[in-house]
Structure 1
Amino acid sequence: MKSTRQHHHFAALVIESLFFLTLLAAYANAEPALFGIGSQTLGGRFVWSDEVIYDGWRIQRHSSIGHYRLIDANDRRRTFGTFENCLAELERAKQVEKLPALPKEVVVLVHGLGAARQMMDGLAEYLVEEGGFNVVNFGYPSTVGDIDQHAKSLTSVLRHLDGVETVNFVAHSMGNIVIRLALTDLASLPASEQPDFTYNRFVMIAPPNHGASMADNFSESKIAQLFAGEPLQQLAPGKGWQTLEQRLTTPSFEFGIIAGGHGDGEGYLAAIPGDDDGLLSVETTQLAGASDFVLAKGIHQLMPKNEQVREYTLRFLQHGYFLPSGTKHPITAVAGTTP
């Protein structure tokens, strides 16, 4: 029954919220020495946005003060200051520490709202170990700032993938919207400033491709705004979604969608018509042009940790389809979506 599933869904939300608060408190306690060269950091949870990623090294921007820092693959701060200063130090480190050249093909992972890049670590490891892929796990402060700024940070990361020839994407939830907006931003750049690589495949995991009606329900809540930030308004169909949607690119390259649900036509949450993952309806994840679509049983927040989702993701990246049989379920049109 949906009532039982709602209790499970609520418990999951509580666990996720407590996890968020614990990490936030840890961050506040662990990073008092903002400018300490060589000091250990937490890697940029919640307030730092990746601007350049190179072999585990990251140039990050502080979401509040615009300060930049360079951290190494062990999350130790190497320098700070301007973006140019951090970039120069990274170039020096490439030579001194003999950092390897970037691979020819990468998979860029993008997490969702309320999470950090660590949420995608398990999926990243799976793609590396089982598929031999090279992964770039992009992190951004999803609850601080708006989706436009997150897309700009991702655009910066993509523009600095020097030597990469092929890019794939895998994203969860709002991360898909960040990618779609970044694709718009990149396309608007002069040809001389666009990165010199091609796009291959894109796996969308539980994407709010038509907004999220639950965002409407909480858009006036001060507590919800505190946890979700400006994206809560941008994803709400009754608020900013219509404006944002007009600026989102539908990928011109191969993409597939994995929706979460219960598989019984009812879903986990009574407030959402039809099957749902506890936050989004199956219907609202769909996007015309997808070359394949599949349903995975599970709730929204934990989809990146779902074993079936990981298997589907790897298979699509390798072959362009989700099911072992190779059968595809493309989406040619989407009508009457209900977020």
Structure 2
Amino acid sequence: THTGSLAGADTVIDAALRRAGIIRVDDLEDLFNAAEITARFRPMSSGRVAVVTNGGGAGVLAVDRLLDEGATLATLADATLQRLDAELPPTWSRANPVDIIGDAPPGRYRAALEAVAADPGVDAVLVMNCPTALASPVEAAAAVAGLVDKGTIGGKPVLACWLGKHAADPARAVLQQAGVASFDTPVQVAEAVALLTRWSVLQRNLERVPATRGEIAVDTETARAVIAAAAAEGRRLLTEDEAKAVIAAYGIPVPETVLAVDEDAVAAAAERLLRGNPAVVVKLRSATITHKSDVGGVVLGIRDAAGARAAAAAIRERVNALPGGTVDGFTVQPMIRRSLAEELIAGVATDPSFGPTVLF
């Protein structure tokens, strides 16, 4: 359909994969990272992440990407902050991300990791190391490795990022041997942590089933008759009033719609509708124009019959000035005002790979 065509092929593929609980990635590097994460850990439902780093800037980069990916930065409990105060230098960040300062020795990594992993408000820990001349990245990695069991501390996933390109390879090897998932950049490790949360959402999608509903009274004959009449005229699109008739036949409320062949009929319809409504709307009816508002074919908030007549005349004048523009008449409807209303578009199309699809 016209609105269904707005759903592109890639959008349909993405929706189908999401509904099937399948993780979609953009390149081979993401593919391998996703495979490593899903092989090591289980889906993470809440996704509250704590970051431990010896470099504030790298920590901020990771946090920015975490938030962009929909993860949540854990709020550390007061007891955790007090425990960290007792173990870390006075200049530590006193917040998440936990910046343990650039000269952090292995013991400081160990103390910080133990504290944040014990916090009940933390679901996963992202630990980072920036190379400095003041501490050994390999020793820091060994401190982390000594705490983990199958890549976790207390059952909580631990993911690492040791910066330094090839210089950090020995430290990464220590982490990998201990079962710690290790990544080269703050962005990569943040995306990996966020993936655990996204994976959980995808898995829950597999358990979703449509809500059961009672029988809905459907006037199938009316709907088919409207469509058949349009098809007999060689048309592939319904006019607005025809579309509303089909929708109403399926039990969906629509505003009263009065057809008017000319300006006099518009004025008469408006006069009748205004007896029970504060205002009306006049719209173009045309088999050749789909987007009425784009050509000035919709006038809102009309409060008297004379105004409705003038609106119809102005619409006719604007459309007649367009190449190929045709005026088949007008529709007049009550002006509906709802303060909490949401605009919605819905359409149906047939995808060559996935079959019938719904745009919503």
TM-score > 0.5 by shorter chain: no
Bigger helix fraction: 2
TM-score normalised to structure 1 length = 0.29
Larger Rg: 2
TM-score normalised to structure 2 length = 0.27
